[in-house]
Amino acid sequence: MVPALIVLAVLTALTAAICAYAYCKAYRRRPGDVTYKVLKGEDYDPYAERSLALIRAQAAVPYEEVSISSFDGIRLYGRLYLQDPSKPFHIQFNGYRGNGLRDFSGGMKIALECGDNVLNVDQRSHGKSGGKVITFGVKERFDVRSWTAYVAERFGKETRVFLEGISMGAATVLMASDLTFDCRVAGIVADCPYSSPFGIIRKVANDMLPVGDAVIPFLCMSALFPGRFSLFASSALKSVPNATSPILLIHGTGDHFVPFEMSAEIHRLRPDLIRFVPVDGAPHGLSYFKDNDLYVKVMKEFREDCLSGRFAP
């Protein structure tokens, strides 16, 4: 009896230790400013200098600091670039362990060139926003609704907004696509999204470890506790079938982090509502730099088509 209790205690302690490590590795907020820390590696190095130059240029653009409280009491931070309140607002959401300024400097530049307004936000547990846990869009999708409520309250419920995200931010806006908003969502832009939180967690675990599937139960458990969310609570695959706003889906075919096939899978759900633009050879999150002419063209065309009512996939 005693040896059995000892074995049980050891197994329990080992499980708790692995879950704690998995939580810290995948979900816990990391401190520090990543604004000028661009991704490193063979895929990303050719674009580093251009990325940094654009980030620095956008960082010099004047903005108003704004903040709101999330549905669960977290203080969320954003940068408001107000040009003309009668024009659309582009609400932009950063990727995993990035921040709004770094990840959306290209999208911000395009929107401002159109004369529109930009609300560039740091997602919960990123940048200047509060929070300790990254929930891969599960809770973040409700923050999307909170930011639209802020725009509606300050500028009116008839205000037109575009919801835009990159990587995890792209998955977040797609996971929010079936929610009800306080203002008019003209369109949704998702650049290299994953199809589900569980799907991307499993993919990355298998990339990092030869026995990646063996750690999946621990990653799921650590999301529940101490993370207090479920990897299965929401996904783009669940939300997009019920979306009502036009969607622009952009994904590089050279993306080795979030597989291109994930966007293709999302597109197959609603080909009537989604305009899907593959960018040949673009690494993860770098379609803007890989083919800038194409990227700017499709972004501006999508904007015009949504605002004029001419949108077609």
Helix (H, G, I), strand (E, B) or coil at 272: coil
Amino acid found at 299:
M
Which residue intervals of the chain are DSSP H helices?
A: 2-26, 48-59, 100-103, 105-113, 140-155, 168-175, 197-208, 212-224, 236-239, 260-269, 287-290, 292-308
User: Smallest Cα–Cα separation from 236: which of 274, 206, 209?
Assistant: 274
Is the pLDDT confidence value at 99 over 80? yes
Model pLDDT, residue 10: 72
Distance CA 257, CA 144 (A): 24
**CA angle (236 as vertex; 234, 240 as ends), nearest 5:** 115
Q: What whole-number percentage of the chain has pLDDT above 70?
A: 99
pLDDT tier, 110 (very low <50, low <70, confident <90, very high otherwise): very high
Residue 53: count of CB within 10 angstroms of its CB: 11
Residue ranges per structural domain of the chain: 1-29+202-228, 37-196+235-308
Q: Is 74 helix (H, G, I), strand (E, B) or coil?
A: coil
The pLDDT assigned to 12 comes to: 78
pLDDT value at position 201? 96
Using alpha carbons, select from 139, 130, 105, 98 the residue that is nearest to residue 120. Answer: 105
pLDDT for 59 equals: 96
What pLDDT digit, counting tens, does each position of 16-31 carry? Answer: 888 899 999 999 999 9
Query: Does residue 226 have a cis peptide bond before it, meaning omega lies within 30 degrees of 0?
Result: yes
* Euclidean distance between CA atoms 78 and 144, whole angstroms: 12
Picking from 86, 95, 257, the residue whose alpha carbon sits closest to that of residue 170 is: 95
Contact 187, 306 (CB under 8 A): yes
- Average pLDDT for residues 281-300, to the nearest whole number? 98
Region of poorest pLDDT, from 77-91, 170-184, 212-226:
212-226
**SS3 call for 159:** coil
For the question of whether the overall pTM of this predicted structure is more than 0.75, the answer is yes
* Each residue's pLDDT tens digit, 60-73: 999 999 999 999 99
SS3 115: coil
For the chain, percent of residues with pLDDT exceeding 90: 91
Q: Which CATH superfamily is domain 37-196+235-308 in?
A: Alpha/Beta hydrolase fold, catalytic domain (3.40.50.1820)
Is the confidence at residue 2, as pLDDT, over 70? no
> H-helix or E-strand containing 120?
strand 117-122
Q: 102, 36 in Cβ contact below 8 A?
A: yes
State the pLDDT at residue 1.
55
pLDDT on residue 46: 95
